[in-house]
Each structure stands twice: as C-alpha cells, then as structure tokens.
Amino acid sequence: MHISDGVLPTTISLAAYAATALGIGLSLKILRQEDLPKIAVVTSSFFVASLIHLPLGPTSVHLLLPGIVGALLGPAAFLSITIGLFLQSILFQFGGLTALGANAMMMGLPALFCGFLFRAIRGTTLLTNTVAGAVAGGLGTLLAATILAGFLYTSGENFFGVAKLALVAHIPVIIIEAAVSAFIISFIFRVKPEMLHSAPRQQHGITGHPSDHCHD
C-alpha cells in the first residue's frame, strides 16, 4: 500500500510533507518520556507487520495496523507510523522518500482518528474494549485505503484503475485487521490494561496528581 516515488504530483507531495511535519510537531509536543518504551515496541511491530506484502496486479496488500497503533498510542501514533515508514523506505525501498509525507498521512491520519474513536467507545469491560478494538482496526484500514485511492486519483487517469483495485483488494485486509486488533486489545485488557491508557499522566503516581487519575 506504499506510494512509490514519482507517482504523485510534486505539489501533492510537498503539501503532504508540510502536513506530516505539522503532525510530527504536534506528536512531539505532547510526547511523554515514560511512553517511549511503548512507542518503540508498537513502532517496531508496525514496521515488521507491514513489511510482508502480497502482490496483487499493479499493487500489493499487507497489514497496515493504523487502528491498533492509534488505540495503543493515541496522539503519538502519527510519530510512530512516520518513523516506521521512514525506516522501511531507507532500508527496504518500500515507498519512497519523496512520497514519505503522503504515506505518513495515509496511515497516520486514520491512526489518530481511530485512537480518539477507540477511547470514546471502549467503555470499561472486556467486551466493549474488544469491540472497540475491532472497530478501530477495521476502520483504520478502510480509511487508509480510501486516502490511498484519493492520492492516486490526483495522479491522473492512468492510476484510476489502480485506485479502484486498491480499495477492493483491501476488503479482506479490513476484516483481518479488525480480528487481529480485537484479539490484541482483549489480550492487553486482560494482562496489562494500563497500556490502553495514553492520556496525560494516566495512572502515574510519581509525576501525576491524584486529581488526574479520574481522566481516561
């Protein structure tokens, strides 16, 4: 699902880079030092999972994980995904450096949206968290595929067919990611539920204040 160099018009690539720089800046502004280990683990998982590609005509499909990344990291998800995509680009030539901004927007924006959505609907029980995880996982992939199609449409008529194929090809991926995300969230909820909290000063007795513990 990575967009390669030379596919997008220069103006679109530059605009995507500007938006990505803004997203990274906002992520860094709210980043907490105690979240760095979790960000590292989630970023490495995203990096490895999205390396496995299945060719499909002129495009390919693979796990994207924007929904689960957003659910686990919240606003830091954009930074995590951008780092993962950058490393994939320079180490394995997946995507391209000129298209890095567009790829980051394509996966980072759904991650941010799904992160907020997950926290809004997850409730307090195992069932509601599992369902919220499934919704975030599936919706994240759907949104990423839709943004990809939109970017490809800006590239001209030669890419219209590829854009349509990319949307259709990711239908099974949406289902798989919903199931994977539901499993991951349910597992984390049972063994380490504090990982599902990314709001400022959540459950940190040293740096936080007692009044902060009422926030999710």
Which of 52-61, 92-101, 183-192 tops mean pLDDT?
A: 183-192
Instruction: Summarize pLDDT for 138-159 with one digit per residue, the tens.
Output: 999 999 988 888 887 777 656 6
**Exposed e or buried b per residue across 139-156, where buried means at least 16 C-beta atoms within 10 angstroms of its C-beta:** bbbbbbbbbbbebbeebe
Longest CA span, the chain: 58
Give the C-alpha separation, 28 to 7, whole Å.
29
What are the residue ranges spanned by the domains of the chain? 10-198
Of 143, 142, 147, 201, nearest to 174 (Cα)? 142
Both tokens of 185, joined, read 């969230």
Which residue, chain included where needed, has tokens 């980043």? 31
Lowest mean pLDDT across 115-124, 191-200, 202-211: 202-211
**What are 8-30's pLDDT values in tens digits?**
888 999 999 999 999 999 888 88
Q: Which residue has the tokens 């909290």?
A: 197
Residue 201 banded pLDDT, cuts 50, 70, 90:
very low
pTM tops 0.85: no
**What pLDDT sits at residue 214?**
43
Using pLDDT thresholds of 50, 70 and 90, give the confidence band for residue 46. Answer: confident
Residue 67 has pLDDT above 50, yes or no: yes
β-strand partners of 55: 60
Q: What is the 3-state secondary structure (H, E, C) of 10-51?
A: HHHHHHHHHHHHHHHHHHHHHCCHHHHHHHHHHHHHHHHHCC
pLDDT at 205: 39
Per residue in 154-185, pLDDT (tens digit) is: 776 566 666 677 677 778 888 988 999 999 99
Fold topology of 10-198: Arp2/3 complex 21 kDa subunit ARPC3 (1.10.1760)
Q: Are 136 and 114 in contact (CB under 8 A)?
A: yes
Please list, residue by residue across 6-37, b when 16 or more beta carbons sit within 10 angstroms of its beta carbon and e when fewer do. ebbeeebbeebbebbeebbeebeeeeeeebee
Q: How many residues are there in the chain?
A: 216
Three-class DSSP category at 117:
helix
